[in-house]
Structure 1
């Protein structure tokens, strides 16, 4: 079996005094609700970890942005509280409402929390929660791309990111590449790595050889590299006679539809909307190849889910993806090279025996990514942080 990637290994945590082994109260500043249409992989990670912590006796409250239809609820033992103004009908109003209300809402609940956990989020990563939370605070870093947003919107949000990272003394990164970036921004911080996980049900079937090429993710044209994928598909599709399936929702849905039509791909590309749970697992298993064309990723959860389903992945050779797709389980392409991506599709698609062999190796590799293990690691870091605070 392939040795575990660095992204799944966390540094040893300190021993924990007996008084901290009991019920811990966690206030999680989670930003995105996993039930919100178009929610990304970050909210999935937050919920998968927290539901296991709740099952283990933790009390977990997650503050998220509001959105149409959002309500306070308890899901799998985790309390979700939407924060903002109005109904949050678009990304901007959700973001502004969350940023404006979060410090007040968090301080109002700090008497009910032993530990505050801040998820980093776009566009500036951190709100520097340790400076105002009033409780020991850990940053969970699934997103660290403010520099890209600064270039895109011509607004210096990367300075806010740097300030926020430097406000934290302890952080959890989802990949080693992200941990290395955090160490450059804040050398004094303790950064531990806890990767994402997969549902064990993903591993219960033999790989099969499907017909479609699949993309799964948020429909964001540039960050997710969908423009690059469609350009490559324009060259590859006539040689493959296959269909490209785009699964997901997001802010660029209409732009992507327009691009598909302008490239003459309406017959070979299908948008199927948001998928989750067993429907998502079935879609991955039934694909011949999964393509992850992102321009940046902190942790390639979709790639790991593809390997777990026995479907090889084609990725760009970037941090956050190369850590989770070994060379014998998929194929790496020179970053953002459309012609190379098209050539890889044409080469790999017809080779059924190689695809099945890679699928079996991918499933074996993916077994090490287990939500239960990752939740235990994260819980140990939480307890260690409180132990250090109390002098244990």
Structure 2
């Protein structure tokens, strides 16, 4: 694959405001860094539609970031936003050799990107990352995407999108991790159970707390962390008090990504109670940190070592108890997918488009 002196344009709803912002879309950050390492001759430009709240271009690890300052405003502002994005794409197309356009999520980014690329005969792919595969995505009707243009992050997402829209994504390229980001592991695993994610209803941290309550009846001194911020913080805080779990569960709030990785290396189990998931980057990070993962969904059809699937909360508690009480449990790192391989697979799609000249 030769992309020397070519530009890949990435369209995303948001992007980190600076290099220190490690908590904003960590998987997308890891993808971009892997892309830079594997394809140093490719110039990357990111159009961030809604966030950061600025229109000042900046550089992120050598990549050009062009924020559009959408701020999730109303319909009239959204049309102006699309017009602005179209103008930037048009200008880039005039000045640079565009290898292709890659949209994160099938949303307004994909709608603008795919429409522009169709007119200019530029390769365009959309990465289905989670919520965009669920029912009610109006951009599917507006865009009518070809299966060949869709890249699902997991087998589960590909299947979900087909069930909801009758289109089976032709490509499945999974999420991955960057092993180089991990610090030296801690001397021991002193955190029994950890949860990582936004404190929103979808993540079902109330179920998480109920599972920990069951575990506490067998393991009175169980040590549990919930890492993340969100609108349900106060509710969860009260649930912890109501269930007398203050000595067992700590809410850390939002912490830096590198600190999350360090905590995962100290954890025995990552409990993932989300009601829906594309392919959790936090779960993959937990596996490589040596923690066992328990969730309600299997993202891939293939078996993933140390990833346990529970049918319900009672089964989740039983699995967790079995792991916590085992004296022979294996906490060796598990690496299902590397982000460097993800980056190579994505660019292979654009290489194929260049070779065939199709769209």
Classify the TM-score, shorter chain: 0.7 to 0.9
The partner residue of 1:116 within 101, 107, 131 is 101
Q: Do the aligned partners of residues 165 and 349 (structure 1) sit closer, same or farther apart at CA in structure 2, a change above 3 Å counting?
A: farther
Identify the match of residue 61 of structure 1 among 45, 55, 64: 45
Q: How does 1:18-97 map to 2 (within 5 A)?
A: 21-35=3-17, 39-52=24-37, 56-64=40-48, 65-67=50-52, 72-85=57-70, 88=71, 92-93=72-73
Residue 125 of structure 2 corresponds to: 138
Any idea what the Cα deviations from partners look like across 1:299-336, whole Å, max 9, x if unmatched?
A: 122222111111111122x242675733xx242211xx
Gaps of 5+ in 1: 1-15, 149-156
* 2:31–2:339 Cα contact (<8 Å) kept: no
Report Cα offsets for 1:116-142 as digits up to 9, x if no partner: 2111167x8953631244443211111
The Cα shift of 1:216 comes to: 1.3
Distance 2:247 2:53 in 1: 34
Deviations 1:36-67 (A, max 9, x none): 685345533543444336x5211111122224
Cα distance in 2 for partners of 1:70, 1:333 equals 45
TM normalised by structure 2 equals 0.81
Which residue is 1:295 aligned to? 275
Distance of 1:210 and 1:109 partners within structure 2: 50
1:273 aligns with 2:253: yes
**2:155 counterpart residue number:** 176
Structure 2 unaligned regions, length at least 5: none
**SS of aligned partner of 2:222:** coil
Residue of structure 2 equivalent to 1:250: 230
Q: 1:194 to 1:30 in 2, by over 3 A?
A: same
Residues 1-392 of structure 1 aligned to structure 2 (within 5 Å): 21-35=3-17, 39-52=24-37, 56-64=40-48, 65-67=50-52, 72-85=57-70, 88=71, 92-93=72-73, 100-113=80-93, 114=98, 115-120=100-105, 126-127=110-111, 129-133=113-117, 134=119, 135-145=122-132, 147=134, 157-164=136-143, 166=145, 169-183=148-162, 185=165, 187=167, 191-201=170-180, 202=182, 205=185, 208-220=188-200, 222-240=201-219, 241-316=221-296, 318-320=297-299, 323=302, 325-326=304-305, 329-334=306-311, 337-354=312-329, 357=330, 359-360=331-332, 363=333, 365-366=334-335, 368-389=336-357
Deviation at 1:195, TM superposition (A): 1.5
Deviates more, 1:259-268 or 1:125-134: 125-134
SS of structure 2 residue aligned to 1:29 = strand
Deviation at 1:258, TM superposition (A): 3.6
Q: Is the 8 A contact 1:125 1:146 kept in 2?
A: no
Cα distance in structure 1, aligned partners of 2:148 and 2:35: 22
Alpha-carbon distance, 1:22 to partner: 2.2
CA distance in 2, matches of 1:78, 1:95: 30
Aligned residues of 1:28 and 1:119 also touching (Cα < 8 A):
yes
Matched residues in 1 for 2:159 and 2:176: separation? 21
